[in-house]
Amino acid sequence: MRKVWLGLLTLLALALTGCGYNTIQSQDEQVKAGWSEVLNQYQRRADLVPNLVNTVKGYASHEREVLTQVTEARARVGAIQASPELINDPEAFARFQAAQQQLTSSLTRLLAVSENYPQLKADAGFRDLQAQLEGTENRIAIARNRYIQAVQGFNVTVRSFPSNLTAMAFGYKEKPNFTVANEPGIAKPPQIEFGGAPAPASRSPN
């Protein structure tokens, strides 16, 4: 009897392997790992925002609209519960994506405003924050691209025959992905210029 059960288990394992079960498991783990890295890099950026806003405020406190936009955009990002389950909920994923895109846009405007303040651009702390932000945006781009590729592979598997039958049997569905409309934002992190020299201070007439 024991040999019969072992034989049945062996046949079941072979059937699952042939129907893509192991592939689905492997690709699902790749998606989860890719998503964790995306979240880590987005959190790294969010952690930079308060110091960046405070530094800009020290030199350009009257730029209240831009500063408020960045602060509010960061708050909206923080209000979204970015759990692992989010990648299985297209609507929640879309809200997360929109919030992150809004923060990206507000940070781009903030950096553009800084160009009008030579003393701010010359501040060592601000320059360091800019460098950290640029590095983080590059890491976000890499993490997002890896996640996109992982999801594409997974989605092809759960749609393809006969692995789609296995996916349906075990409740695996297509996962949401970053939309094509946002691809330019993935490939082009905010540009940060360090080459410009501060404008000379105006002299009083003799």
pLDDT in tens, 27-69: 999 999 999 999 999 999 999 999 999 999 999 988 999 999 9
Q: Which residues contact 155 (CB under 8 A, 6 or more apart)?
A: 174, 175, 177
Contact present, 102 and 52 (Cβ < 8 Å):
no
pLDDT at 202 over 90: no
User: What's the mean pLDDT in 12-38?
Assistant: 82
Token readout for 46 is 């969010």
pLDDT for 18 = 54
pLDDT grade for 142, boundaries at 50, 70 and 90: very high
User: What's the mean pLDDT in 90-99?
Assistant: 94
pLDDT for 81 = 84
pTM of the prediction? Answer: 0.78
Give which of 152, 153, 150, 155 is closest to 172, Cα–Cα.
155
pLDDT at 3 over 80: no
pLDDT at 136 over 60: yes
Of the listed ranges 14-28, 85-99, 118-132, the one predicted with least confidence = 14-28
Q: Please state the domain extents for the chain.
A: 25-187
User: What's the mean pLDDT in 125-144?
Assistant: 95
- The residue among 193 and 42 whose pLDDT is bigger is 42
Contact present, 49 and 70 (Cβ < 8 Å):
yes
Q: Give DSSP secondary structure letters for 74-110.
A: HHHHHHS---GGGGG-HHHHHHHHHHHHHHHHHHHHH
pLDDT grade for 195, boundaries at 50, 70 and 90: very low
Report residue 71: phi and psi, to 5°: -60, -45
Helices (H) and strands (E) in the chain, counts: 8, 0
pLDDT for 6 = 41
Instruction: Classify 25-187 by CATH class.
Output: mainly alpha
pLDDT for 85 = 83
